[in-house]
């Protein structure tokens, strides 16, 4: 079996084993298992990166940009990249329990969408493509980390307020303040990226079809996400929101982006952004 054919199997196996080991290591409070799981994820991430580079270096590199496999590969890669950054900067090892399963899910979805692609105007390629798709995916990867931090925050806060006490594995989790700092980082960086991605999409639409907005379901949901994200950005940075409220908002905004990416793209045949054989 050639390396390009073997690569997806290796990446999926490494991500899956890494996820299982991390969950087991967390439950048993076994640091060696958690370190081993992160090692497997790192190797999987390296092969994942090679897979992306291989797709972009082929003779059909321009066509790869519109392929469902490349787009979902890129999103999964972005999620794990953000986790590695947060692990390095804030020592948030616990977010692996969100990042690795999401990266695995996106990579599996990528390999299940071989042969399908989305229709993009020819002029939206290269730098313009990454200004639109790249920034939106980066903001979604940030939101994925905010989603994980938000769930952890709500869970820990509930156990503390009800005086239920922490289970053994929860005693190794970061403080509520640390999860709140993740939320702050996600909002501070993610909202400008999402705004830039959406704005470049409108410019793209104008250049390709002389329109800025239509009643496309994907565009409607994207605007709703933008409004919610803008509200969260304002309340967090201007009004000083902390704790529970921004955690809930980050979870809701992320779930909407998932609905937009997976639900609308595959289940709504009328959308311009949908995946087609």
* Span 223-270, pLDDT tens digits: 888 999 999 999 988 888 888 899 999 999 999 888 877 766 666 655
What is the C-alpha to C-alpha distance for residues 116 and 66, in angstroms, rounded to an integer?
9
Q: How far apart are CA 193 and CA 138, in angstroms?
A: 7
pLDDT under 50: residue ranges of the chain: none
State the pTM of this model. Answer: 0.82
Residue whose structure tokens are 């779930």: 255
As separate numbers, helices (DSSP H) first and strands (DSSP E) second, the chain gives: 11, 2
pLDDT at 216: 72
Q: What is the pLDDT of residue 217?
A: 76
Q: How do strand 275-276 and strand 117-118 relate by DSSP bridges?
A: antiparallel
- CA 19 to the chain's CA centroid: 16
Q: Tokens for 132, please give them.
A: 């639109």
What is residue 13's predicted lDDT score, i.e. its pLDDT? 93
- What number of residues does the chain have? 277
Strand partners, 67: 117
Predicted confidence at residue 167, as pLDDT, reads 60
Q: What is the pLDDT of residue 31?
A: 83
- Give the per-residue pLDDT at 61: 56
């Amino acid at each position: 079996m050639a390396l390009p054919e073997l690569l997806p199997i290796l990446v999926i196996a490494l991500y899956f084993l890494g996820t299982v080991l991390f969950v087991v290591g967390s439950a048993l409070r076994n640091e060696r298992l958690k370190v081993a799981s992160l090692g497997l994820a790192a190797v999987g991430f390296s092969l994942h990166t090679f897979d992306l580079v291989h797709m972009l270096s082929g003779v059909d590199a321009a066509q790869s940009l519109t392929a469902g496999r490349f787009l979902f590969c890129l999103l999964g890669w972005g999620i794990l990249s953000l986790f590695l950054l947060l692990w390095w900067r804030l020592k948030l090892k616990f977010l692996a329990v969100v990042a690795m399963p999401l990266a695995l899910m996106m990579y599996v979805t990528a390999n299940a969408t071989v042969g399908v692609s989305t229709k993009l105007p020819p002029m939206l390629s290269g730098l313009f493509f990454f200004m639109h798709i790249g920034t939106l995916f980066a903001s979604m990867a940030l939101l994925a980390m905010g989603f994980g931090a938000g769930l952890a925050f709500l869970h820990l806060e509930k156990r503390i307020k009800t005086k239920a006490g922490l289970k053994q594995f929860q005693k190794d989790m970061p403080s509520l303040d640390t999860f709140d700092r993740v939320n702050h980082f996600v909002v501070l960086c993610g909202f400008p990226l999402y705004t830039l991605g959406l704005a470049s999409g409108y410019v793209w639409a104008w250049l390709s079809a002389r329109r800025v907005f239509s009643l496309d379901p994907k565009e409607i949901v994207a605007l709703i996400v933008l409004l919610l994200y803008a509200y969260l950005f304002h309340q967090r940075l201007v009004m000083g929101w902390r704790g529970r409220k921004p955690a809930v908002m980050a979870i809701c905004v992320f779930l909407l982006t998932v609905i937009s990416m997976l639900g609308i793209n595959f289940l709504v045949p009328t959308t311009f952004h949908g995946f087609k054989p």
